[in-house]
Amino acid sequence: MIVVMKAGASKEQLEDVIARIEAFGYRAHVMHGVEREVIGCLGDERGKAELQTLQSVKGVEKVMPILSPYKLAGKQLQADPTVVTLLAGSGESTMKVGPGSFTVIAGPCSVESEEQIMETARAVKEAGANALRGGAFKPRSSTYSFQGMGEDGLKLLDLAKQETGLPIVTEIVDYHDLDIIAKYADVLQVGARNMQNYALLKALGSTTKPVLLKRGMSATIEELLLSAEYILAAGNPNVILCERGIRTYETATRNTLDLNAIPAVRARTHLPILVDPSHGTGIWSYVGSMSKAGLAAGADGMIVEVHPKPAEALSDGAQSLKPKVFSALMDELEPIALAVGRTLGTRQTSWQLERRG
């Protein structure tokens, strides 16, 4: 249920209503609006009737049901877009994911060696990426495939961060690894195969690190948002969604990048959404087209695989861009970013610099 306070209700009245909500066994989630406060009552829906009685309490304008099954991810409690701020190790704010920017996260599928990650980090930074991606714990379809370097991979990502200042985005597969991964990562990626790993989602709700939640390959948009709700309800508001392609009958591409998801997600939630044209296509030469399409469709950014030697990559080489190709793609994305009113990565066009004085 939602309790809408009267415009001008006092702080005492608000506190009284919160205390009553909590006494009924609910968690009160207060949204401070320009004119009035709105309180979301989170908990077992069987107690709706008790909450209705708040209608007659001083300071309350009305009590109404939350219609969406994803109460915190939905737009009823929060209409304004969430902007997720990424903090690099130094504690300085380095980038914001949300309206007005097209955030670019680039790097290899897996961390493989110091040389590989350093070369990639330098190149993607030079081309204007905001953050470095790289898997140290890999969820592979085959148990015989490379499973990632583990903590040694995290240490290499840290080395790259020390030199370039780029925040690190890396995948968490098992919640037992949370402490060790959170020590190095700036964004915790939940892969498609783990979108419905509820124990993992709840554990991620206990941190405040941004979580990049990828859509499961057979998940509906509603299921994606219900998964995001687990993280939000457990206390972490910093959730970024990602469309990475879904399974369809089509075999010409690895997955079908569902660009419909961008406006459909936008219509249902205030959370930012990225596209992943690498897993969305599986073929490096298609990545440019789908990056451009994602930007034009309204995505808040992209996560893209870049490898200095794709032919030698231990995972996902076929969909990885060489650094030069990535840099050329960034050049091609610039006019589109300008046309849709977003800043591309860390690049600022002369037009944008002029407007900002």
Q: 148 burial class (0-12, 13-18, 19+ CB within 10 angstroms)? A: buried
The yes or no reply on residue 134 touching ligand PEP (CB under 6 A) is no
Does 280 engage in binding with ligand PEP (CB under 6 A)? Answer: no
Q: Which stretch binds ligand PEP (CB under 6 A): 15-23, 46-54, 152-160, 189-197?
A: 189-197
Query: Using CB under 6 A, which of 71, 125, 266, 279 touches ligand PEP?
Result: 279
- Binding segment for ligand PEP among 81-89, 90-98, 191-199, 349-357 (CB under 6 A)? 191-199
> Per rule CB under 6 A, is residue 135 in the interface with ligand PEP?
yes
Q: Rounded to an integer, what is the distance from CA 292 to the centroid of its chain?
A: 19
Q: What are the start-end ranges of the E strands in 177-271?
A: 187-190, 211-214, 239-243
- The minimum distance between CB 160 and ligand PEP, in angstroms, equals 17
Return the number of the residue (111 or 226) whose C-beta is nearest Mn ion: 111
Over 68-81, what HEC string results? Answer: CCCCCCCCCCCCCC
Instruction: Say which residues have a Cβ less than 8 Å from residue 193's Cβ, sequence separation at least 6.
Output: 139, 216, 217
Distance of alpha carbon 272 from alpha carbon 239, whole angstroms? 8
Determine the residue with CB nearest Mn ion: 109
The CB density around residue 353, as the number of other CB atoms within 10 Å, is 9
Using rule CB under 5 A, residue 316 touches Mn ion? yes
d(CA 112, CA 106) in angstroms, rounded, equals 15
Decide: is 192 part of the binding site for ligand PEP (CB under 6 A): yes
Among ligand PEP, Mn ion, none, what binds residue 244 when CB lies within 5 to 8 Å by partner kind?
ligand PEP
Tell me which H or E stretch contains 286.
helix 284-297
| Choice between 74 and 135, CB closer to ligand PEP | 135
Q: Which residues bind ligand PEP (CB under 6 A)?
A: 109, 135, 191-193, 214, 244, 276, 279
The contact set with Mn ion (CB under 5 A) reads 109, 316
